[in-house]
Amino acid sequence: MEVLSQVFGIHPLTTEDILYEETREKIDPYPALNYYFVSFRSFNQDRLSPSYLDPVNIYIVVFPHGALSFHSRGTPHPHNVRKRIKRLRGSIGVTSDWISYALLDDMVDAFSPLIEELTVETEEIDDRVLVLLGDEEEDMLARIGSCRKKVMGLLRLMGNKTGVVRGLIKRSSESGQMGGKLDISLYLSDVLDHTAMSAQNLAYSEKVLSRSHGNYLAQISIEMAGTNNRVQNFLIKLTVFGTILFPMNIITGLWGMNVRVPGRPSKQDGTDIPGLDNVKWFFGIVGGLCAIALTGVWVTQKVFADRRNR
């Protein structure tokens, strides 16, 4: 890098930004050295790589008759630009400013397929979040989290791209007397439109995902409230049943001990002789237990009816 800086007359600040991988996207003009420096960010496009979507810093030093690009990781953008130059060599005049534009355009266009995929997935999540069934709830939460992570990562990568492109358009317009640069401003305007549209789509996706996340949590809250109500109703019924059964157990338990029970047959000559009173006592006790149960049910219904009326 030091050799290149000496050969091409690159400013030490530019060299420092390249060596230390400056992450801020910017354009720095150096009129005294007859070049301008562009810092732009792309991302790792290898879907099989563990560093997929990680930022890739690309630096462009644009001279009047050539351009130097620097990047610390592999990226397809320079190769795509070279192919584009070969394809358009006969129809346009390739200048250093056009090469700079082509690199920026290729980097911005690389976001489009991914943003389209995220938009489709976002709309699908928004449609399905309110009609979830069973095990889909856990999967939906993971989908929302993964999609929001990608959207936020791309929003961070979009960064100050619009500001950089506007700076290049301004510089190109102000330097219109130099051949071809007014045409380059038209190309850069197209890049600016793509950048603004990508940022708007990502912002839209983030809003939709935020709303879907809120709807998902609201649905979970409603389901939990319904489950709590069902459990509470069951416990109330169980409590009422126990309250009604408790006095019955007391009555039956009292006469289950080794005591004299009313209505029991008397003993004569060592033999229990059944009497007629025991039948009356039996039906009387059963009738009393039924009366207690009916009274408990009536009181319970009355209490619940009063609560509903309130």
The pLDDT tens digits of the residues spanning 90-113 come to 777 788 999 999 999 999 999 999
- Round to whole Å and give the CA distance between 295 and 310: 23
Model confidence at 67, in pLDDT bands (50, 70, 90)? very high
Q: Which of 34, 56, 58 has its CA nearest to residue 45? A: 56
Six token digits for residue 76: 């397809």
C-alpha distances out from residue 242 to 135, 290, 303, Å: 36, 15, 16
On whether the CB atoms of residues 47 and 82 are closer than 8 A, the answer is no
Least-confidence region, from 49-53, 247-251, 259-263: 259-263
Q: What is the pLDDT of residue 269?
A: 45
pLDDT, mean of residues 64-70: 92
Q: What 3-state class would DSSP assign to 58?
A: strand
What residues pair up with 29 in beta bridges, in sequence order? 36
Q: What is the pLDDT of residue 178?
A: 46
Residue with tokens 């008397």: 266
pLDDT of residue 10: 93
Note the pLDDT of residue 255.
66
Tell which wins on pLDDT, 122 or 296: 122
- The residue behind tokens 């928004």 is 126
Higher pLDDT, 202 or 251: 202
Per residue in 157-199, pLDDT (tens digit) is 987 899 999 999 888 887 764 445 447 888 899 999 999 999 9
Strands 266-268 and 66-71: unpaired
**Confidence tier at 117 by pLDDT (50, 70, 90):** very high
